[in-house]
Amino acid sequence: MTERAADVAVDNYAGIDPAAADQQLNDKVGMKLLEATAERVVGTIPVEGNLQPYGLLHGGANAVLAEALGSTVAALNAGPDRAAMGLELSCTHHRAVRSGTVTGVATPLHVGRGTITAEIVLTDDEGRRTCTARLTCVVRDRPPGA
């Protein structure tokens, strides 16, 4: 599963199906979850291994990181009896990245009964903003037994 800092415990927050635990896209892009609270979720991906044909970080890798972090902040705000699922993701790519690590920070912009919207800011190793994303998740009651 996604590599995490020792103090980040979010395994049970989203009711991940054990059969799907070894098939997570986050693992394939090398995502590391560093911090996870209802107010802020932080994670990274390496640029290496996530390139597009011109040698730049793939915009889809930015989207994977943004959606993973935004979904996590939404799930933490939704609570244990509710499920948050991505409804809309918007990414604006500001700066190309060729090497190093990209860090994302997700914070909730709106926490409502039916939707949660998060802003996700991605930066390079020099702290320059590379992408700004916004994710809106729909929030539903978790089905019994799920």
* Residue 1, CA distances (Å) to 24, 40, 114, 132 in order: 7, 21, 29, 26
Separation in Å, CA 127 to CA 124, 130, 133:
5, 9, 16
126 catalytic residue (yes or no): no
C-alpha torsion 62→93→58→49, nearest 10: -60
Which among 3, 39, 48, 67 is annotated as catalytic?
Answer: 67
At residue 21, what are phi and psi to the nearest 5 degrees? -60, -35
Q: Provide the annotated active-site residues.
A: 67
